[in-house]
Structure 1
Amino acid sequence: MFSPYYKKSGRGDPLDHCALNVALYGPQARWAMTERRRDTVARDASSLAIGPSNVRWENGALTIDIVEGDTRLFVPWQRPVRGTVRVFPEMLNRAAFALDRNENHIWHCLAPCARIEVAMTSPGISWSGKAYLDHNRGAEPLETGFNTWHWSRAHLKEGALVCYEGERGDGSLFASALRFDRHGVPEPVELPPIAALPDSKWGITRRTRSDIGVAEVRRTWEDTPFYARSELASRFLGEEVVAVQESLDMRRFSSRLVQFMLPYRMPRRKR
């Protein structure tokens, strides 16, 4: 949905603009997001191949085989990004939610809580821990439907809490908080108070929710001209939690400068 090539093409053939995005943070950071053409994409009910990488359901896990290269501009050569990620859902949610009145934008939290196993060969790192899996789809460009949004998710002792809010393209506001129980069943809960966060280095306005109206940015993983992803210390439903938070500014995304910069971060390949 952030492809400058897809936007320029008129968004008529999504299968001709597919990419697997891999973001590794820390001392051995890697970033891969290579867009590939229709003839390198194959899919069926349980698998999706994008170039040499593929995603498939296998033995109850979402298995992602990564065969990519680092596409960051400041890396003087393309370092390989190789490995396998397995996501094991601990619960599944069947309910999807419309983010606008006309149901042009749908969000589906597939697995509010999951386990993850990461085994990378390049760079040579591995770990396991908690995970989350969701899905977005839309019938119109994202920048048409939204000006901004703020999203955050935290594991609870039982289940998870997700807060989603923002400003739609027509200027109307939306906000919701959903608690998923240990079976993955969602239940709307009262929105916690707004917790303001410091702007990102690129000046992206960040916001989250917290029981006491206060949250702390522990780390900023991704800081771009139109998007920021952070790790927070917060409090939800009486529990001290570590939350993942993202803020998106689609007005920034649509600017000429950002559209000019994106191909340097997201190259397009024939194979």
Structure 2
Amino acid sequence: MGHVPQAGGADAAERPLSGGGIGPSGAGRADGGDERAAGGGGGAGGPLGPDFRHAVPPGGYVWWYVDGLSDDGRHGITLIAFIGSVFSPYYYWAGRARPENHICLNVALYGPRARWSMTERREGALRRDATSFTLGPSALRWEGGELIVDIDERAVPHLSPIRGRVRLIPTAMNARAFALDAGGRHFWRPIAPAARVEVAMDSPAQNWSGAGYLDMNWGAAPIERDFARWDWSRAALGRGRSAILYDAARRDGSDLSLALRFDAQGRLDEVAPPPRADLPRTLWRVPRRVQTDDPATLREVRRLEDAPFYARAELRTRLFGEDGHAVHETLDADRFAARWVKLLLPWRMPRAFF
């Protein structure tokens, strides 16, 4: 899961903080929501592929999220491909009537020669089927059980090119999707809770590999309508294991607290969530919290994104008795709903006329 506009410092120094297989599919519950096998035809790899045909109703959205951290600790990447771009001011101002007319690929490169882009495009730039998704000059495809992303974008604000290829090779896969709200309007599926990523960029020039992750979210209503905030994290643990935590405050007054642990074969256990701990507020004063076994051992390695309503960070943590290397995000949906925030977004999220 993950998204969105950068507006502040990346790569902050590390600091102490206070405070293969297929998962079983079938009916169940995730803290008040239901749980279901993911859709997707055989052309998308059966229930395991990302299925880029996913239908999006008016007012709705779907996104596919990739992240990766290099083995040497120097680089990181986030890619998010949207239909019905949930953070688009243009989609909002258009009444969210035509999600296919608001598509984009958010690219964030962290570390040396960092770059960031999130150019929105019109539906004429969209082509998709079960195994491929083209957004103007960039494209994603699911091929041989791997995700390949060809990137051809322009960074903001200086318009430097971002070109290259990212390959994500799952080491564990999951077919289950989880409802994030009691009304069944918002869903999330961790497609590959553990993966390897290979990054080969022509511009800026960099080649690296590391641990990665792939998921997708979809919904039939704006996020800020049903959530006040959420914190999400995914962590690579030892011996191919991984953990994912979702901690959200819903508009109906209930909470989502979901903790998933995957073994190296992709077998899934729902477990009791670890205790909460506060992370320092961001430069934009966004409050953040994380779930961890031991707040005393929690470390923020890098601040990756710092926006008025959103933050992403690289953490060292301890989960379920194991050391973990994590990507964490916070969304402040109340802040995002503010008019002044939407007026800022076009400076970071241009809209192309082709």
Question: Does TM, normalized by the shorter one, top 0.5?
Answer: yes
- 1:13 pairs with 2:98: yes
Superimposed CA distance per residue, residues 147-170 of structure 1 (whole angstroms, 9 cap, x where no aligned partner): 100011111223211111111122
Superimposed CA distance per residue, residues 114-141 of structure 1 (whole angstroms, 9 cap, x where no aligned partner): 0000000000011001000011001110
Maintained 8 Å contact 1:192/1:213 = no
Runs of 4+ in 1 over 2 A off after TM superposition: none
Please name the residue that 2:273 is paired with. Answer: 191
Superimposed CA distance per residue, residues 48-107 of structure 1 (whole angstroms, 9 cap, x where no aligned partner): 0000110001232100000100123xx3xx111100000011111001000111111101
Please name the residue that 1:207 is paired with. Answer: 289
Q: Which residue of the other structure, out of 249, 256, 266, is the alignment partner of 2:332?
A: 249
Deviation (angstroms), 1:32? 1.1
Cα distance in 1 for residues equivalent to 2:290 and 2:351: 34
Q: Which residue of the other structure, out of 290, 294, 305, is the alignment partner of 1:222?
A: 305
Maintained 8 Å contact 2:197/2:210 = yes
Please name the residue that 2:28 is paired with. Answer: none
Please name the residue that 1:87 is paired with. Answer: 168
Maintained 8 Å contact 2:178/2:187 = yes
SS of residue paired to 1:136: strand
Letter in 2 for 1:65: D
TM (norm. structure 2) is: 0.74
Cα distance in 1 for residues equivalent to 2:203 and 2:214: 24
SS of residue paired to 1:261: helix
- 1:267 pairs with 2:350: yes
Please name the residue that 2:316 is paired with. Answer: 233
Question: Percent identity of the aligned residues?
Answer: 49
Maintained 8 Å contact 1:64/1:85 = yes
Q: Which residue of the other structure, out of 56, 61, 64, is the alignment partner of 2:141?
A: 56
Superimposed CA distance per residue, residues 233-256 of structure 1 (whole angstroms, 9 cap, x where no aligned partner): 110111122211100001111111
Cα distance in 1 for residues equivalent to 2:205 and 2:251: 43
Please name the residue that 2:250 is paired with. Answer: 168
Cα distance in 2 for residues equivalent to 1:151 and 1:219: 16
Please name the residue that 2:260 is paired with. Answer: 178
Cα distance in 1 for residues equivalent to 2:265 and 2:322: 19
Letter in 1 for 2:317: S
CA RMSD of aligned residues (A): 1.1
- 1:102 pairs with 2:183: yes
TM (norm. structure 1) is: 0.96
Please name the residue that 1:118 is paired with. Answer: 199
Aligned pairs, number: 267
Please name the residue that 1:46 is paired with. Answer: 131
Unaligned regions of 5+ residues in structure 2, if any? 1-85
Name which structure has the greater RCO, CA cutoff 8 Å, separation 6+. Answer: 2
Letter in 2 for 1:93: N
Cα distance in 1 for residues equivalent to 2:93 and 2:266: 39
Letter in 1 for 2:206: I
Superimposed CA distance per residue, residues 163-187 of structure 1 (whole angstroms, 9 cap, x where no aligned partner): 1111112232221211012221221
Q: Which residue of the other structure, out of 6, 10, 23, is the alignment partner of 2:108?
A: 23
Please name the residue that 1:139 is paired with. Answer: 220
Unaligned regions of 5+ residues in structure 1, if any? none
SS of residue paired to 1:263: helix
SS of residue paired to 1:20: strand
Cα distance in 1 for residues equivalent to 2:302 and 2:163: 25
Deviation (angstroms), 1:222? 0.3
Cα distance in 2 for residues equivalent to 1:161 and 1:59: 25
SS of residue paired to 1:252: helix
Letter in 2 for 1:44: D
Please name the residue that 1:34 is paired with. Answer: 119
Maintained 8 Å contact 2:189/2:217 = yes
